[in-house]
Each structure stands twice: as structure tokens, then as C-alpha cells.
Amino acid sequence: FNSLNHDMTLTEFKFIWYMEYSHRMWGRVVGLAYILPAAYFWRKGWLSRPMKGCVLALCGLVCFQGLLGWYMVKSGLEERPDSYDIPRVSQYRLAAHLGSALVLYSASLWTGLSLLLPRHKLPETHQLLRLRQFAHGTTALIFLTALSGAFVAGLDAGLVYNSFPKMGERWIPDDLLAFSPVLRNIFENPTTVQFDHRILGITSFMAVTALYLFSRKIPLPRRTRMAVTSLLAVACMQ
């Protein structure tokens, strides 16, 4: 307020304050929703030995996620006497916080579906193995794209160029490698960060489309086919 947002009203401050407060409270509710039932089921002896390890790992991830959130917010509260830029959290910590949340969500969903739905026993054909490898590679690509989005958000890189598919008047902007050393551009140059996110997003969409087309050539169970079709639909919407 003293250095930048002189005209912020109390109502405007309350809005951002309650957003952060709600996020923290919701995170704590999520933690309790994991830990309390886990402790109850453990005490009752309802968990198998492998499931106990899984529950401990998920509860550990929940706690780690909260710790990362605190560590991320802390970076936005550090005084920088040599900078009058907009206060923002570290893009590295933001990406770590988002990445950890995605891992936690995916692991929870995988564990839940493994318990609720029986595993299909399909013949291990060459095509099926290729489809599985392709699916794993697409998953990694989507995860990387999401992390690159955190760098876009952390650097406000979306404000640099707002035209698509070109960035301004060029396909490849002039200031793509303006920082030195070159590697620093990938994580700290807003232009490069936005460019990488665009390329990764387009590549992810193409990979999902290719995965869908490849899956159409293989006899798959109805549930698996629905999953691949839903993935393509969500990719189009995204």
C-alpha cells in the first residue's frame, strides 16, 4: 500500500484477504479429510499393509503441500529495497506448490479408482504396450505444461503478448533470449516463459489428439475408451 497500491480501498483489500483466507481454510479441511479418516481406518485395522504405506505417503504429501504453500507466500512478503516492481511470489515456489498439488490430486484419484474399479485383465499386446507408453508420455507432457503455466502466472508473463498465434507481429519474438546466461530465459524471461507455455500447450493438445486416434485402432474396454474420449474433450475445452 505504501509503495504501490495507494488507492486501494478497505473493501478491495478485504476481497483479496478473504480469497487467501478461504484458500488456507479449504486446504486445512482437505488435510483433515485425509488424516482423520486415515487414522480411524488404521485403528480399526481396515487397511492392508500396502494401503498403509499409500495412506502414509498421501498424508505426508498433504502436509508437504501446506508447507510449500507457506514457503511460497513467504517469498511474496520479502522487502526488496532495490525494486519497486509489483509484489509477487517466487515463480519457482509457485510452480513447486502447483506441481505438488497435481501429484497429490493424481495420486489420490489413482488410489481411489484402484479401490473402486476392478483392474481390467487385458492381453499384453504390442499395441497395448505402446498405448500405455504413449499415455504415460502424454501425462508427463501435460504436467510440464501445467508447471510452465505457473511460471507464466508468477511472472505475469501473460501480459507481455496478448495475440495468438503470433506474438505481436512475429512468430518468434526478438527478446526471446534477451537474458544472460541463456538458460535463465526459460525461467525468468516473461517472453520466453510465455512462448514455452504456448508451444507446450499446442504440443500437449496434439499429443492428446494422437493418443485418441491411436486408441481407436485398438480393441479397448468401454471404460477405457470413454476415458480417452473424455481426455480429448477436456483438451479441446482447455
- Label each residue of 147-178 as H, E or C: HHHHHHHHHCHHHCCCCCCCECCECCCHHHHC
Mean pLDDT of 168-185: 90
Residues 110, 4 share a domain? yes
Statement to judge: residues 171 and 226 lie in one domain: yes
Domain boundary among the residues 101, 118, 135 is at 118
Residue 52 has pLDDT above 80, yes or no: yes
Q: Which of 93, 118, 143 is the last residue of a domain?
A: 118
In terms of domains, do 14 and 70 share one? Answer: yes
Count of structural domains, the chain: 2
First to last CA, the chain: 36
Same domain, 114 and 161: no
Last residue of a domain, one of 118, 143, 162: 118
- Do residues 103 and 132 share a domain? no
Domain that holds residue 73: 1-118
Write the Ramachandran bin of 163: left for phi over 0, alpha for psi from -120 to 50, otherwise beta.
beta
Supply the DSSP symbol for 90.
-
Q: Is the pLDDT of residue 209 over 80?
A: yes
Q: CB-based contacts of 57: which residues, under 8 Å, 6+ apart?
A: 107
Q: Are residues 2 and 112 in the same domain?
A: yes
- Read off the pLDDT of residues 114-131 as tens digits, 9 standing for 90 and up: 889 888 787 888 899 999
> How far is residue 26 CA from its own chain's centroid?
18
| Cα atoms found within 13 Å of the Cα of residue 2, Cβ hemisphere only | 2
CB-based contacts of 91, cutoff 8 Å, min separation 6: 150, 151, 153, 154, 155, 187, 188, 193
Same domain, 71 and 153: no
**Residue 83, pLDDT score:** 58
**Average pLDDT, integer, range 181-188:** 92
Question: With contact defined as beta carbons under 8 Å apart, do 199 and 164 qualify?
Answer: no
**Could you tell me the three cell numbers for 81?**
529495497
Q: Are 64 and 126 contained in the same domain?
A: no
Contact assessment for residue 23 and residue 65, using Cβ atoms and an 8 Å cutoff: no
CA distances from 131 to 62, 125, 139, 214, 228 (A): 31, 10, 12, 7, 11
**Quick one: cell of 129?**
504396450
Whether the predicted pLDDT of 85 surpasses 70 = no
Domain match, 133 and 168 both: yes
143 in the same domain as 110: no
Instruction: Supply the pLDDT for residue 6.
Output: 87
What is d(CA 167, CA 192) in angstroms, rounded to the nearest whole number?
11
Based on the domain organization, do 160 and 104 belong to the same domain?
no
Q: Please count the residues of the chain.
A: 238
Same domain, 109 and 133: no
